[in-house]
Amino acid sequence: MDGRDGGENMGRQRQISPPPAYSRILPDFLQSVNLKYVKLGYHYLITHLLTLLLIPLMAMILVEASRTNPEDVRQLWIHLQYNLVSVLVCSVVLVFGSTVYIMTRPRPVYLVDYACYRAPDELAAPYAKFMEHSRLSGRFDEAALEFQRKILERSGLGEETYAPASMHLIPPRPSMAAAREEAEQVMFGALDVLFKNASVKPKDIGILVVNCSLFNPTPSLSAMIVNKYKLRGNILSYNLGGMGCSAGVIAIDLARDMLQVHRGTYAVVVSTENITQNWYFGNKKSMLIPNCLFRVGGAAVLLSNKSSDRSRSKYKLVHVVRTHRGADDKAFRCVYQEQDDSGTVGVSLSKDLMAIAGGALKTNITTLGPLVLPISEQLLFFATLVAKKVFNNSKIKPYIPDFKLAFEHFCIHAGGRAVIDELEKNLQLLPSHVEPSRMTLHRFGNTSSSSIWYELAYIEAKGRMRKGNRVWQIAFGSGFKCNSAVWQALRNVKPSPRSPWEDCIHRSLGQKGFQIKWSSEVETRFWVLNPEFTSTSLLSLHDQLGT
């Protein structure tokens, strides 16, 4: 063999020799590490940091205690005998402090049960009927009719929402009597179900709070309830008006404050809106939008401060955070009841509504965040803020806290498709998180302040509420206001009898021999496979295939 052959053989050997066995044992971490899991691990570390620090401390204490002999214990006892005054003073201070704490601490407020009103089927307002009645009323020109048709198509509302009885007449005949009749049907319908489900007598109610923005007759709506159910003479009743779609959370906050003062009692909160006298019969586009979105609905909520009610209650109220932007002129006028040029009264919605709502939400979550977010998210937010200030670098984007780490469920006011879309995007939520809001808007429309309760009922009907789960209710309203309520489930919550979703929660998609249950997984799959689908077209598909 000459040198050339040897060189060729050596070259060939170098080419075919396998790589070392250890070269593929470990993956390339820079390529394989998922930032999501790094963040999750960081969250767990920071959340349990105090526990991790206390474990060594407790271990040291136990080691020292194990070294103590009986003689040391006897010497300690003798020392205490000769310092009796100090022991008595410390005991008095301890007892006094404990008493003050127990007497002044906030009393827990429990949500025993709630009920949502569901109108009879004859009040259903499908698209075709809505448009036909609008045309036959003779109140709208062609441009206004076409505008309403387009809004309906994009609204996210389905074919089964409800309009008041007076709007089903041709021509519509709104009147004070018809408005009272609508209010009675909604409020009494919800209260009848609530009292029956909760096994509470109306005479046991000590506090009553009613909110309805646009219908405030004399006597008040709260007085109508007192008269109907013959509530006791010393009941504390309140009637909130003109406070918009966020008034439901305001009513809960007022009831909570009253329950802090009055021991051992029940509070009932009734949230509704009246459509009959507030239908707009004009042609101004900004005032036509409420006609297309608002529908009949209402909810009644039973709260208690009795410790004996904890075992049968569904939720515990954890936080209420309220934000009011009324000092800003644009925010004040973005949802405004007024007359158009022809003198017709209606509610006008400003083009700046979404921007103003976003600003109000930002202020609200800035206050709410420290109360609910884990310390890991707060540190990340603070670090990003400091870095941006110190380095004065506009390229450093503000950190958006992950509210999915604080809440398992979200009840976003079903004010319209755009509201839900924007919150889903800005809070980085998943389709399953906004599913209750989309489906409530689709099935019942915008029921104003009561919509967050239809959404909570949807979550319960789906069987998703587990003990310890936290729910964030977010509501927006005129003024402009953004209000939040946080609830914690006290048990695995099942839907109450006569739930508004009782006969439609398991409606299926069916086409060409296959059936798929409508769920968050199906909805997510549709969006993943068909990103061009909007929420409106998806829910329209649900309508078409669900029959």
Q: Containing H/E element for 93?
A: helix 84-104
Which residue is catalytic, options 442, 482, 483, 542? 442
CB 203 within 8 A of CB 231: yes
Q: Containing H/E element for 270?
A: strand 266-272
Which of these, 425, 433, 407, lies nearest to 524 by C-alpha position? 433
155-159-165 Cα angle (round to 5): 100
DSSP string, 125-146: --HHHHHHHHHHTT-S-HHHHH
Output the 3-class SS for 1-33: CCHHHHHHHHHHHHHHCCCCHHHHCCCCHHHHC
Which of these, 425, 380, 429, 385, lies nearest to 408 by C-alpha position? 429
Residue 442 falls in the annotated catalytic set:
yes
3-state secondary structure of 65: helix
Which residue is catalytic, options 305, 409, 483, 542? 409
Which residue is catalytic, options 211, 324, 364, 542? 324
Which residue is catalytic, options 211, 283, 364, 413? 413
Residue 413 falls in the annotated catalytic set:
yes
Which residue is catalytic, options 212, 245, 334, 411? 245
Residue 245 falls in the annotated catalytic set:
yes
Which residue is catalytic, options 274, 278, 364, 446? 446
Residue 262 falls in the annotated catalytic set:
no
- Other Cβ atoms within 10 Å of 239 Cβ, number: 20
Helix 431-444 with 417-426: angle, nearest 10 deg: 170
Residue 212 falls in the annotated catalytic set:
no
CB 447 within 8 A of CB 297: yes
Active site residues: 245, 324, 409, 413, 442, 446
